[in-house]
Amino acid sequence: MHVRKDDIVEVITGDDKGKRGRVLSVDRTKGKLVVENINRVYKHMRPSRHNPQGGRLSKEMAIDLSNVLMIDPTDNKPTRVGVRYLADGTKERYSKRTGTGMGTIAPPRKAHAQQG
């Protein structure tokens, strides 16, 4: 999964197509994520001791990972994300659009370092 919390993504399908938002949470097992102000629904709350008024609560629901694209930090356009190893063995995410790095994923490992 190439999307992390606090990344900026753009929705490419659905009712919120074209909107951008910050990732609030990621569920790796289900392949879903919650994006700020995207896929908002009303949850009807029954009056209770904790919430005596009741009413409607607007909240974000999870969307599938395949319905979003990361935003490239250099040109501010949607891009696919790849993973590569640097010369010292560090694993990093990169933009397939421009080739720029988008942050490291794993620390350096000798097995993936280039010899020479």
pLDDT tens column, 39-79: 999 999 999 998 899 999 999 999 999 999 999 999 999 99
Q: Give Cα 13 distance to the centre of its chain.
A: 15
What would the two tokens of residue 31 be? 């392949």
Q: Residues spanned by CATH 2.30.30.30 within the chain?
A: 1-71
The model carries a pTM of: 0.86
Predicted local confidence at residue 116, as pLDDT: 61
The model's pLDDT over 78-93, given as tens digits with 9 standing for 90+, comes to 999 999 999 999 999 9
CATH number of the structural domain 1-71: 2.30.30.30
* Predicted pLDDT of residue 1: 76
